[in-house]
Amino acid sequence: MSEALNIIKDPTLTYRQELVSLARLGESTDTTLRYSDAYYAAKQKGALCDLNEGVMPFRPRYICPDYEKLFERGCAFLQLEPPRDLMEAVNVLEIFYCHVPSITTYPVYLGDLDKLLEPFVRREDPAFAKKVLRLFLRNIDRVQTDSFVHADIGPEDTVTGRMLLELTEEMQLAIPNLTLRYDPDRTSDDFALACVRCMLKTAKPSFANHRMFVREWGERYAIASCYNGLTVGGGGYTLPRMRLYECSLDADSPDDFITRVLPGYIDLQLEYMDKRVRFIVEESSFFKSNFLVTEGFVSQENFIGMFGVVGLAECCNHLMGITDRKKGFGMDPEATALGRRIMDVIERRVSEHTAPYCGAFGHHYRLHAQVGIDTDGMDDSPGTRIPIGAEPTMLEQLEVNEQFHPYFPTGTGDIFKFEETYLKTPEAILQIIKGSLANGLRYFSGYLENNDVVRVTGYLVKKSEIEKLRQKKQSLNQVTLFGMGAQDGAHALDRRIQHHEESAGQ
């Protein structure tokens, strides 16, 4: 009860945030779903983490509805007819979004907005269409108040995509998150440059390697939440994570870690995932009665378990006895090579495991480079990233990223902070993005150093909203608290500034 009392006394929480916090507290105190003693021991020591998913799941973690079906058929449960014009289209989406659950309680995927709305936008006067889209984005920002809410555009240039970029710059909103699905054969340079300029000013859109995602998921894939690759009409059951640095504390050497310690922790996380997935499918009501399932907006076989890892850099540095992060993983070739050995073991062992209820993916889970949480501190850099404060130049950093991004079909990425002069030469950034994606980079994000809207680890917050929390005032965006914690504990906003002359010289 003391935890509940702390929640209802917290002056920084809005009513909705209190409600969500109390619900999570209740979900986390049930004892229905039990695991082995070894799993609980690993969780207690911090080697494994369930990312606060709760011990009695009642819905999948991430859900990616097929919004095209909504526009084609309407929705019987919500009494929605297929939209006939732009006003009806955005109204249908706004209503539908309020009924799409997730681990955050908000929809993590809003659809391919340009593709969905383009036929309606093109039939309207441009000024009127832009006004409607402005109100639509404002509704999302004020109602879906969580910046894990995510929408996609591209790869083609569209009138709607252009309007969304213009409005994103004008409105300076942290919600929704936004990704451009970039394909050099389908995305014009002019449209890509518009996205670069918007990214610099608003920390979005990020650039996703469309060809890579299509190879792994097919054309019907979604980028959801921070940067998660999933299937449209499906989603992610669960996302636990191995904290690799904490795991490495049990090892006497790199070989001991790879041959003895690491396989044991992998198997414990797989145990957790299997039991959780079975409970969601077999025991909870979601796949039996939720209208998203019964009306075909999602299908159970299109869901997958996401095997998360975090803190590879610190793991490698510890195993090799490296105490100076600037001389470790990402800079030291042997430490980086050890990282690849570790990822090879994880990838192979997870791929050999037969996963329940993942029929569309050969009954296997897929890997995810988890971005961290606000309480991690400095011992667990997001996924396989080079630690903040130890970054080399951007091009050197990208060369390291390109080695690790292919391991993670369900998502990974890195973030770069640019000085203001890059606004004059967005072409330089586009060339870097093109080359990196061609070399195996999965996902690229950036923003200007002086922006109010900034990208933390994968989600967006406003620095001005963080300051509100510091003054014990409420912030509408429920992840602002995470942003403040990530900044205070892991200095997540202090990443290296990319200087134009430095990159140009390479």
Two structure tokens written together for 390: 């130890």
- For the chain, 506 residues long, give each residue's pLDDT as a single digit of tens: 688 999 999 998 999 889 888 888 887 777 778 899 999 999 999 999 999 888 888 899 999 999 999 999 999 999 999 999 999 999 999 999 999 999 989 999 999 999 999 999 999 999 999 999 999 999 999 999 999 999 999 999 999 999 999 999 999 999 999 999 999 999 999 999 999 999 999 999 999 999 999 999 999 999 999 999 999 999 999 999 999 999 999 999 999 999 999 999 999 999 999 999 999 999 999 999 999 999 999 999 999 999 999 999 999 999 999 999 999 999 999 999 999 999 999 999 999 999 999 999 999 999 999 998 877 877 899 999 999 999 999 999 999 999 999 999 999 999 999 999 999 999 999 999 999 999 999 999 999 998 888 888 888 888 898 888 888 888 888 778 778 877 887 777 888 888 866 655 44
Asked whether residue 317 is domain-assigned, the answer is no
Q: Which has the closest alpha carbon to 90: 29, 154, 148, 135?
A: 135
Tell me the one-letter amino acid at 359.
G
CA dist 309 and 87 (Å) reads: 43
- DSSP letters along 327-393, please? GSTTTSHHHHHHHHHHHHHHHHHHHHS--TT-GGGTT--EEEE----TT-TTS--STTPPPTT----
Asked whether residue 319 is domain-assigned, the answer is no
Asked whether residue 432 is domain-assigned, the answer is no
CA dist 19 and 247 (Å) reads: 35
CA dist 113 and 409 (Å) reads: 22
CA dist 486 and 376 (Å) reads: 8
Distances (CA, A) of 179 to 106, 113, 153, 196, 373: 18, 11, 6, 11, 21
Chain centroid to Cα 147, Å, comes to 10
pLDDT of residue 403: 98
Q: Which has the closest alpha carbon to 211: 366, 66, 414, 405?
A: 405
pLDDT of residue 503: 57
Domain total of the chain: 1
CA dist 99 and 105 (Å) reads: 9
CA dist 304 and 356 (Å) reads: 9
CB 198 within 8 A of CB 205: yes
Asked whether residue 19 is domain-assigned, the answer is yes
pLDDT of residue 506: 46
Other beta carbons within 10 Å of 10: 14
Asked whether residue 389 is domain-assigned, the answer is no
| Per-residue b or e along 130-154, where b marks 16 or more CB atoms closer than 10 Å to that residue's CB | bebbeebbeebbeebbbbbbbbbbb
Two structure tokens written together for 92: 């249908």
- DSSP letters along 138-193, please? HHHHHHS--TT-EEEE-SS--HHHHHHHHHHHHH----SEEEEEE-TTTS-HHHHH
Q: Where in the sequence is the domain holding 23, given as residue range(s)?
A: 1-30
CB 451 within 8 A of CB 217: no
Asked whether residue 12 is domain-assigned, the answer is yes
User: pTM here?
Assistant: 0.94
CA dist 215 and 290 (Å) reads: 31
Residue 239 DSSP code: -
Asked whether residue 51 is domain-assigned, the answer is no
Asked whether residue 468 is domain-assigned, the answer is no
Chain centroid to Cα 14, Å, comes to 24
